[in-house]
Amino acid sequence: MRYRRTAVAIPAGLLVALCVSSLAEDVAAPPPPSELTPAQMQEDLAARALPRLMPADGKIFVLVDRVTFSAALVTAAMIKAEGGDRAVLVGETMGDAAHFWAEGDSMTLPNSAIRLRYSDGYHVWGRGCPDLDKCYWAVVALHTRAVSLEPTIRAEPSFADYAAGRDPVLSAALSRAP
Rounded to two decimals, the pTM is 0.69
Residue 28 and residue 43: Cα distance in Å, rounded?
A: 22
CA-angle at 78, arms to 72 and 84, nearest 5°: 130
Residue 143 and residue 125: Cα distance in Å, rounded?
A: 7
The predicted-structure confidence for 40-59, as pLDDT tens digits, reads as follows 444 446 777 788 788 878 88
Find residue 62's DSSP bridge partners. Answer: 17, 89
Query: Contact, 71 vs 95, CB < 8 A?
Result: no
| Mean per-residue pLDDT, 15-24 | 42
Least confident of 12-16, 145-149, 154-158, 163-167: 12-16
For residue 62, the one-letter residue type is V
The predicted-structure confidence for 100-125, as pLDDT tens digits, reads as follows 888 888 999 999 999 999 888 888 88
